[in-house]
Amino acid sequence: MTHSTKKGRPFKLIYQEECGTRLEARQREKFYKSGCGRELLKQKLEDSLS
């Protein structure tokens, strides 16, 4: 359990992505935290729940 979640509260993994290198993973994370990346993740979430 990470400190970023509420204490003792379970969470469900809804999206996972593999990257070839640590650098690639950091770049992808930076993208997802940008405005365009957030929109893409929001769309993926909506698609997975429908």
pTM: 0.63
How many domains does the chain contain in total?
1
The beta strands (E) that lie in the chain are given as none
With respect to residue 6, please indicate whether it lies within any of the assigned structural domains: no
pLDDT at 16: 87
Q: Contact 19/50 with Cβ under 8 angstroms?
A: no
pLDDT in tens, 8-48: 677 777 788 999 999 999 999 999 999 999 999 899 888 88
Which residue segment(s) compose the domain that 30 sits in?
A: 22-50
For residue 16, tell me if it sits in a domain.
Answer: no
The predicted structure's pLDDT at residue 3: 63
pLDDT score of 13: 79
Whether 43 is in a domain gets the answer yes
Name the band, by pLDDT with cuts 50, 70 and 90, for residue 2.
Answer: low
- What pLDDT shows up at residue 49? 80
